[in-house]
Structure 1
Amino acid sequence: MSTNAPCFKQYWESKSRMSVKEKFGNANVYANNAKSILNKATGFIDYYDFTLNPYRGCQYGCSYCYAAAFSANPKMREEWGNWVIIKENAVEILEKELQKWHKKNLDKYPSIYMSSVTDPYQPIESKQKLTRSLLEVMVKYQPTLVIQTRSPMITRDIDILQQFRRLRINMSIPTGSESVRKDFEPRSPSIPARLNAIGKLVHNIPCDQNHDVRFSVTVTPLLPTFPDDEVAFIQKLEIVDRVVIQEFHASQNRSHVAGTREEALDIKQKYAWWYDKERVNYLKFKQNLVSLLPSVEIKEGKQGFGYE
């Protein structure tokens, strides 16, 4: 490897500086070993025992993503979406941590949220297959598992997902308008691709007395949907048992954790017709969900991300 390979100088493992392993799509790919893979769930998802993030960083680089705030340094926050770190020892660590849990808890199953600050099915997963390997470990221990993604790639793993007894899959679709998606999250999969994926999952993963499997579409944060698209979009959500909605991060909240990134704030100006009356439009959208999806559970904010 060239000694001139780019690296983030403030990222160190032991005494070695982490250098680029390869280029994959738009992102520089790095690799290191994690100290742990199951981390205590807190805050918005404190319903769970653990969060599990196979990667650090996310190639989708959505403009509004709060996870960028957890980057290790300002340069990495600025270049969010252009780097990803593979946790090379994640499978080995997960096996050890689940073994340790079961020795201490006997018949109690852990609950795991995958993932909280990355997408487990971002593009590098197509080559790395790390998420798939982690699923193969987890299915042996049968945790309560929630998977959060915006990627149709998840359908690749239907054969493993069919074996889980307590599973919820959340497909993120923040808008029903493709032009809005392209503005706010241009690197992410199309809306039709995500809808097709969740439909395929619903029809191929059993939900019966031995498999408590549930499906959600998370319209979070709620982005504008053009009026001409709204009804048709909502009607396509009838295949899931839950739809979750949440308002955009408050513009006045500039905190490190939850503040809206400048990139998204700039894009919001293009949609003044929505954001000038954001609360009104949010409530109208919610009411349309309720009226058009009478058999679907409509949840708001934190309460929508629980397994139950």
Structure 2
Amino acid sequence: MAKTQAYEGYCKGTPTILVKEKFGNANVYTKNTQSVLNKASGFISAYDFTLNPYRGCQYGCSYCYAVAFSPNPPMRQDWGNWVIIKQNAAEVLEKELQKWYEKNPTRSPSIYMSSVTDPYQPIEGKEKLTRSLLEVMVKYQPTLVIQTRSPMITRDINLLRQFHRLRINISVPTGSERVRRDFEPRSPSIFARLRAIGILKHSLPCNADYDTRFSVTMTPLLPTLEADMFSLINKLQVVDRVVIQEFHASHNRTLVASTRPEALEITKKYSWWYDNEQLNYLVFRDKLVAMLPDIEIKEGQAGFGYD
């Protein structure tokens, strides 16, 4: 039987995994991993693999479903205040991609990075783990989708521009800073994210040889104040797809779709939106369709494929 892993600060007995350092508010741990390419399933089953450089996320967004994948209940309760670095991830990825092409010499894999963490959370600025993974992947040219809410992604433009099939999904669930600060106070500003999209769009090639695509994912869709609505939608013209989804669309309590109590508490502050959420969602969707006639407006899972 595998030995239970006890993380320092989140266990009663003697810890087996010690805190490497404190980075901001987060306890940072390091571990080796046996695999970084995990078979994609569920919401992103259209891909061959998911790739998560880290476990945990310093942004600690109130609504994030990834908290369910915490190593233990104490860490689940302290979501956002710890992160685990998969320190050998680049080496393992190289081996896994070599193995893939030995079995599939004529087909490139499709990879979604990341499904349960942000590959550009603050610790990435120091560790450069995501960058090391890009350096490996650019040699093997998978179809790659990067999901992040961080402008730090612009740091890696020199690598991103070498991918032949790339989609970048930037999470912008609201156009209002007041709403962002309530639901995800540790995350980058809306302005910084939208600015990053513009930088990426004008810096990365899109032609017959380099198929580069851009999405804004508003999942879950949070309220946007009326005063911010026009400015937000106008700035979305730079992407080719906008993805929206209710908070959360399935309305059941499954592992993936459930909404955290922390976020449900915050929704009370925005009763003007959530008391009529489905109607407000439809009105917002119709505004997107009317104001962005040349851009794909997709809902839920349909928006997360590469094509």
Query: Contact 1:223–1:248 at 8 Å: present in 2 too?
Result: yes
Query: Contact 1:251–1:260 at 8 Å: present in 2 too?
Result: no
Residue identity matched to 2:10: F
Q: Deviations over 1:145-168 (max 9, x none)?
A: 000000000000000000000000
Q: Matched residue of 1:169: which SS?
A: strand
In 2, Cα distance between equivalents of 1:269 and 1:79: 22
- Cα displacement (A) at 1:256: 3.2
Query: Contact 1:9–1:17 at 8 Å: present in 2 too?
Result: no
- Cα displacement (A) at 1:49: 0.2
Q: Matched residue of 1:298: which SS?
A: strand
Q: Matched residue of 1:214: which SS?
A: strand
Residue identity matched to 2:9: C
Structure 2 unaligned regions, length at least 5: 1-6
Q: 1:170 to 1:163 in 2, by over 3 A?
A: same
In 2, Cα distance between equivalents of 1:255 and 1:203: 40
Q: Deviations over 1:198-246 (max 9, x none)?
A: 1000000000110011000001100000111111111110000000000
In 2, Cα distance between equivalents of 1:84 and 1:192: 26
Matched, 1:298 2:300: no
- Residue among 6, 9, 12 paired with 2:11: 9
Matched, 1:229 2:231: no
Partner of 1:248: 247
Q: 1:10 to 1:305 in 2, by over 3 A?
A: farther
Partner of 2:38: 39
Residue identity matched to 1:59: Q
Query: Contact 2:250–2:257 at 8 Å: present in 1 too?
Result: no
Q: Deviations over 1:15-60 (max 9, x none)?
A: x711100000111100001110000000000000000000000000
In 2, Cα distance between equivalents of 1:65 and 1:10: 27
Residue identity matched to 2:300: G
In 2, Cα distance between equivalents of 1:259 and 1:178: 25
Residue identity matched to 2:209: N
Partner of 1:180: 179
Q: Matched residue of 2:222: which SS?
A: coil
Matched, 1:24 2:26: no
Q: How does 1:42-81 map onto structure 2 within 5 Å?
A: 42-81=41-80
In 2, Cα distance between equivalents of 1:220 and 1:255: 17
Residue identity matched to 2:192: A
Partner of 1:124: 123
Query: Contact 2:146–2:167 at 8 Å: present in 1 too?
Result: yes
Q: How does 1:157-172 map onto structure 2 within 5 Å?
A: 157-172=156-171
List 4+ stretches of structure 1 deviating above 6 A.
none
Partner of 1:203: 202
In 2, Cα distance between equivalents of 1:274 and 1:256: 25
Q: 1:252 to 1:218 in 2, by over 3 A?
A: closer
In 1, Cα distance between equivalents of 2:292 and 2:253: 35
Matched, 1:109 2:112: no
Q: Deviations over 1:62-118 (max 9, x none)?
A: 000000011121111100000000001101100000000001000100000000000
Q: Matched residue of 1:290: which SS?
A: helix
Q: Matched residue of 1:17: which SS?
A: coil
Moved more, 194-203 or 245-254: 245-254
Query: Contact 1:10–1:73 at 8 Å: present in 2 too?
Result: no
Q: 1:220 to 1:257 in 2, by over 3 A?
A: closer
Percent identity reads: 70
Aligned length: 301
Residue identity matched to 1:20: V
Residue identity matched to 1:64: Y
In 2, Cα distance between equivalents of 1:156 and 1:223: 28
Q: Matched residue of 2:235: which SS?
A: helix
Q: 1:254 to 1:178 in 2, by over 3 A?
A: same
Residue identity matched to 1:28: N
Partner of 1:288: 287
Give the aligned CA root-mean-square deviation in angstroms.
1.6
TM-score normalised over the length of structure 2: 0.95
In 2, Cα distance between equivalents of 1:250 and 1:61: 21
Residue identity matched to 2:97: L
- Cα displacement (A) at 1:254: 2.9
- Cα displacement (A) at 1:267: 0.2
Partner of 2:3: none
Q: 1:167 to 1:10 in 2, by over 3 A?
A: farther
TM-score normalised over the length of structure 1: 0.95
Query: Contact 1:148–1:169 at 8 Å: present in 2 too?
Result: yes
Query: Contact 1:91–1:133 at 8 Å: present in 2 too?
Result: yes
Partner of 1:275: 274
